[in-house]
Structure 1
Amino acid sequence: MDRRTFLGLSAVFAPTLAEDRDPAMHVINRLTFGPTPELLDHVRSIGVDAYIEEQLHPEQLDTAPVEQEAADLFPEASADPTSLYEEVGTRRGPIIQALAGATTLRALKSPAQLYERMVQFWGDHVNVFVNKGPVVYFKPHDDVHVARAHALGNFRDLLGASAHSPAMLIYLDNAQSVAVAPNENYARELLELHTLGVDGGYTEDDIKETARALTGWSVDGLPARRDDAQGVFRFRPNLHDRGRKTVLGVTLEGDGEAEGEALLDLLARHPSTARHIATKLVRRFVADEPPAALVERAANEFAASGGDIRATLRVIFFSDELRSAPPKLRRPFEYTIAVMRAVLFEIGATGPFIRALIGLLSTMGHIPFNWPAPNGYPDHSAYWMNNLLPRWNAAMAALVSGRQGAPDYETLGARILFPDAGGFDGILNRIADLLYGRALDSAELDLLRDAAAEVEGGEDVQMFAVLALMLMVPPFQSV
């Protein structure tokens, strides 16, 4: 398959427009990590609205099997810092691989798909770079107790969990922030990224005062540094600035740890925070350029509900703006999981799989928890547009060529190619329904037939080559 042929395919296979969408496929694409044959049948059976409500209540879904599988295959992903240090010492690889593996497994197999999407969202929102110093030992605890604990809960609870997270306090240097030398790194990101937003109305003085209010918020030793060090949050009153502070016009009296809690209360209920969070949620689930009217309605619900994440999402998911949203490019991790879900991938030998996965995601710049800056992985299609060639090449290599240690997509892909589909065209339309939620038009069919004819090696090889192409073209990339 030469470049010219592939570009010709991409020109014909445009992203599916709103008026041509299958509503079931659209809600799957926006709320989950991608369709599977079983999921598409399920949503078509119960209806879009019922599926949205189902996903908003993950506690009613049976996630026990996938959670047990994650615990069995990737125990480091939920271990405490001291245990990790005792187990792996200075080797980072096992922890990073376990985090990537558990994240992938849940995205791939969990029935609570929206919950996993929201875990990813909050992981970006309160981003912690796993490769900074000793953060790697604390990141599993952070993942469990921040994003996973509060993904669909209350924003103030999530904000508090993040502010108490040893991983966050070490990553943004607050663990070393003391009264005589306040460190402003966490204070700045708390205002700019986690709550008010860059245009949220705060000043440099507010940042300085916030830093003073959070002095002494620290960590009880690094793992294994002392016999009694557990690597957990500790407020150190002797290092706290006890002077009066003023943040956003509100006076904080300097009364120890409670002062920091009052600060978090103030930030969580601020109108700028409601607008900032609403904007980011609408951008994630609706459009790169969030519709202003929907942002306003979502922000109003966020404020009125006291930061109820589930209630805010309900406003977004039942909106006309979501139903008519323009196509949105899948980011590389989401695209990779969507490919795996489409071909019903099963994780086998974990070592080779995780190494291949991390290598694949590395070429596309989207390894979980590996974004160095505190703003999290970008959520604008423009950032990832120059990333298309690596993901096209990766999909072709994984689906058709195969390589030692890589996922065996060829055998797995056969599961969706039913012998009663009605010949070659019938198989193509069956795949198109599973991937795009629609049939192929005549121009698309002609191009796929021509592409298959160029592939040597028999009908099976031709079919998998065409499957790879159908996973790479715009209707599957931008959904």
Structure 2
Amino acid sequence: MTTLNRRAFLKAMGISGVAVTQATALQEVLAHAVSQGGFVPTSATERDPITHVINRLTFGPTDHLIRNVQEIGVSAFIEAQLNPENIDDSEFDATYGEVFPLLNEPSSELMITEFEMRQQENNRNGVAQNLMRQLIGNWIYRSLASERQLHEIMAQFWANHFSIHTDSIPDIFLRLDDERNVTRANPFGKFRDILYASAKSPAMLTYLDNATSRKEAPNENYARELMELHTLGVNGGYTEDDVKAVARAFTGWSVTRLRFGANRANENTEEPGQFYFNPEMHDTEEKVVLGHVIPAGGGIKDGEMVLDILASHPSTAQFISTKLVRRFVSDDPPATLVERTAQTYLATDGDIRSMLWTIFTSDEFWNATPKFKQPFEFIISSLRAMNYAPSRFESFARWLQPILINMGHIPFGRPSPDGYPDVGAYWMSNLLTRWNVAIDIAHGMVNGAQSSFRTLLEANNVGSDAPSILNFVGQLLYGRPLNTIEMDTINAYLSAEGTTTETLQDMIALMLAAPAFQYR
């Protein structure tokens, strides 16, 4: 193996240069090991069931979580995660409950406050930017530390399914209500209920231009995406005539807004940013959608009938089942499991909890091939494994959010309404950034967060020698001891560079960046 002079890199480079050069050097070490069969994902026949269920139902292993699943068993853990209301999350609430105060405020009041602040001379620092940071921070903190891990995964799944690009000031306030009422309200409930909530979400109606759709000129954006992306799928059997009819059915589904002016007393007194049905904008004539006649004069019930038609359609059962199986099983969803999950959908009126149970108890789930982590998953799982806890939100956000932007995976940032792709091939580029993240995390260079990894070693009575420490890390990350090739790689590196705190951290970074951890 090539001898690496890491100290020369540290002496010659600045901080950013060290990260790039160090990552490149460690990549060479890892590539050699991988070519010999080291640091590769564990096959389905060899992996530990506890490791598998943790990797698929959570944002990654922690020592505490592994002990918990070992104690209660895999089946009980799945059952618990599917019923998050029974999981005690009081420690998370006590630790982080006050970090995001804006999330507890009425969105309409925040909108009015934003407007009033911007009316003040030279004051353009409203609440919108802080709210956006807190919305993203809430995702990050809950993914890191909540005991209700599957609830968080499913909340984010629905946010990606009903994807809304959030970049303007009004959008940010509307996103707050979408988070409350659509994606987080009951992610294990009936799909019909989630679909209804999304259809009446001011954020969705504004994003896809339905808020201004009127009978004289129906806007087809929402109608098209409702069928193609939210329910039936692109090959779900609808026609252009169906798109036009659905667009007519949703005319008048609109949003109240604050009419900015000099004197608020003369403005619209309705709360801004709320759903309302405007009968003056609605097309009252008969419509035909997927062969179903929607009688004339139905008003708001026209759109509700469309939602019921779509929620009950076999193509919707197939489409939602395919996406769930892709998320939890494979980039190439097994047709047999998709079909069984779709049958569960149709038998239970689209009960998501029942569909997930079908997936998690299937042979296809337990025999699934490794799935490449999306950037958000990789970063969160690395932080969880190394026992990080955020302590200063602003500093932590300034460290993490630019990384997520650079990796193309910032929450609420997908420009198109199709959501971030859930296939590994899409995320295979920009691997150097993953290496640099692994180096930062392993070397304790995460602003605004502290790792209590040493405490973890002491609690597990891990020896102070390098083999003991790195074998513990291997068991934690991979669910198995390091193999001979992996230990030989580590020993060769430490022999060349010396066994120091920094070189041990190098090897932990390598283990985080290795395929064995990049895949779940």
Compute the displacement of 1:56 (Å): 0.7
Q: Which residue number corresponds to residue 329 of structure 2?
A: 286
Amino acid at match of 1:26: H
Q: Give, in whole Å, the separation in 2 of the partners of 1:303 and 1:62.
A: 32
What percent identity do the matched residue pairs reach? 45
Report if aligned partners of 1:130, 1:139 keep a CA contact under 8 Å in 2: yes
Distance 1:400 1:69, change over 3 A: closer
User: Which of 487, 506, 509 does residue 468 from structure 1 map onto?
Assistant: 509
Query: For 1:182, what is the secondary structure of its paired residue?
Result: coil
Q: How does 1:294-313 map to 2 (within 5 A)?
A: 294-313=337-356
Q: Give, in whole Å, the separation in 2 of the partners of 1:157 and 1:50.
A: 27
Compute the displacement of 1:65 (Å): 3.9
Q: Which residue number corresponds to residue 345 of structure 1?
A: 388
CA deviation vs aligned residue, 1:14-64 (integer Å, no higher than 9, x gap)? 111111101001000000001110110111222111111111110101124
Q: Which residue number corresponds to residue 444 of structure 1?
A: 486
Q: Give, in whole Å, the separation in 2 of the partners of 1:222 and 1:448.
A: 62
Q: Give, in whole Å, the separation in 2 of the partners of 1:434 and 1:401.
A: 18
Q: Say whether 1:170 aligns with 2:206.
A: yes
Q: Which residue number corresponds to residue 392 of structure 1?
A: 435
Q: Say whether 1:17 aligns with 2:58.
A: no
Structure 1: which 5+ runs fail to align?
A: none
Distance 1:373 1:132, change over 3 A: farther
Q: Which residue number corresponds to residue 35 of structure 1?
A: 61
User: Which of 238, 247, 258 does residue 280 from structure 2 map onto?
Assistant: 238
Compute the displacement of 1:449 (Å): 2.1
Compute the displacement of 1:76 (Å): 2.3
Q: Which residue number corresponds to residue 335 of structure 1?
A: 378
Amino acid at match of 2:508: L
Q: Which residue number corresponds to residue 264 of structure 2?
A: none
Compute the displacement of 1:10 (Å): 4.3
Amino acid at match of 1:189: E
User: Which of 459, 466, 474 does residue 500 from structure 2 map onto?
Assistant: 459
Compute the displacement of 1:434 (Å): 0.9
Q: Give, in whole Å, the separation in 2 of the partners of 1:437 and 1:88.
A: 49
Report if aligned partners of 2:183, 2:194 keep a CA contact under 8 Å in 1: yes
Report if aligned partners of 1:129, 1:171 keep a CA contact under 8 Å in 2: yes
* Structure number with larger C-alpha Rg: 2
Q: Which residue number corresponds to residue 181 of structure 2?
A: 145
Report if aligned partners of 1:70, 1:102 keep a CA contact under 8 Å in 2: no
Amino acid at match of 1:470: M
Structure 2: which 5+ runs fail to align?
A: 1-21, 116-123, 261-266
Report if aligned partners of 2:490, 2:507 keep a CA contact under 8 Å in 1: yes
Distance 1:400 1:4, change over 3 A: same
Report if aligned partners of 1:343, 1:415 keep a CA contact under 8 Å in 2: no
Amino acid at match of 1:413: F
Q: Which residue number corresponds to residue 266 of structure 1?
A: 309
User: Which of 390, 393, 415 does residue 455 from structure 2 map onto?
Assistant: 415
Distance 1:353 1:454, change over 3 A: farther
Q: Give, in whole Å, the separation in 2 of the partners of 1:68 and 1:228.
A: 36
Compute the displacement of 1:196 (Å): 0.3
Query: For 1:251, what is the secondary structure of its paired residue?
Result: strand
Q: Which residue number corresponds to residue 119 of structure 2?
A: none
Q: Say whether 1:5 aligns with 2:29.
A: yes
Report if aligned partners of 1:79, 1:140 keep a CA contact under 8 Å in 2: no
User: Which of 30, 33, 49 does residue 75 from structure 2 map onto?
Assistant: 49
Compute the displacement of 1:69 (Å): 4.7
Q: Which residue number corresponds to residue 227 of structure 2?
A: 191
Distance 1:312 1:330, change over 3 A: same
Report if aligned partners of 1:284, 1:379 keep a CA contact under 8 Å in 2: yes
Compute the displacement of 1:226 (Å): 3.3
Distance 1:325 1:223, change over 3 A: farther
Query: For 1:20, what is the secondary structure of its paired residue?
Result: coil
Report if aligned partners of 1:27, 1:48 keep a CA contact under 8 Å in 2: yes
Amino acid at match of 1:271: P
Amino acid at match of 1:72: E
Q: Give, in whole Å, the separation in 2 of the partners of 1:73 and 1:40.
A: 27
TM-score (norm 2): 0.88
Q: Give, in whole Å, the separation in 1 of the partners of 2:97 and 2:312.
A: 36
CA deviation vs aligned residue, 1:146-181 (integer Å, no higher than 9, x gap)? 010120111000000000101111111111111111
User: Which of 126, 134, 152 does residue 98 from structure 1 map onto?
Assistant: 134
Distance 1:454 1:371, change over 3 A: farther
Report if aligned partners of 1:81, 1:138 keep a CA contact under 8 Å in 2: yes
Report if aligned partners of 1:132, 1:171 keep a CA contact under 8 Å in 2: no
Compute the displacement of 1:402 (Å): 2.2
Compute the displacement of 1:204 (Å): 1.1
Q: Which residue number corresponds to residue 478 of structure 1?
A: 519
Query: For 1:198, what is the secondary structure of its paired residue?
Result: coil
Q: Give, in whole Å, the separation in 2 of the partners of 1:190 and 1:201.
A: 13
Q: Give, in whole Å, the separation in 1 of the partners of 2:495 and 2:209.
A: 59
Amino acid at match of 2:150: L
Distance 1:231 1:470, change over 3 A: same
Compute the displacement of 1:454 (Å): 4.7
Query: For 2:411, what is the secondary structure of its paired residue?
Result: coil
Compute the displacement of 1:104 (Å): 0.8
Q: Say whether 1:131 aligns with 2:128.
A: no
